[in-house]
A = this chain, B = another copy of it.
């Protein structure tokens, strides 16, 4: 893994992901569960949990790198636009910094929806273990 390496993965936001997240974390806030509440506030539909994206980052780091002996040190995300159940998200990530002396890597990432609108961006720093 080197600075500048890029990665692309597709993450569909399925009903199974939405319902599984809701069941595990017991977040039934009406923004995520009540279409009329969400629409009354200007959203198209129930807004999906932003932290689903953090779960996709867990998968990306744990499963999609050329090495598996990794652990996350820090993670940050900015939610730019809402996303909805049924969206097919594209994660684009790039190694922005490789600190070889301490076996650490910083990835910059963005999620895009199927209209190629950037819905979130962030950084995740990992270490090799």
Contact = CB atoms under 8 A, between A and B. Distances in A.
A62 B24 contact: no
Copies in the complex: 2
Given A29-B70, A74-B78, A58 B50 contact: yes
Interface stretch (A15-23, A91-99, A100-108, A110-118): A15-23
A129 interface: yes
Interface string A36-64: 00000100000101110011111101110
Contacts of A79: 71-75
Contacts of A27: 55, 58-59, 62-63
A51 B47 contact: no
Contacts of A56: 25
A70 to B, nearest CB: 7
A3 interface: no
B57 A51 contact: yes
A58 B49 contact: yes
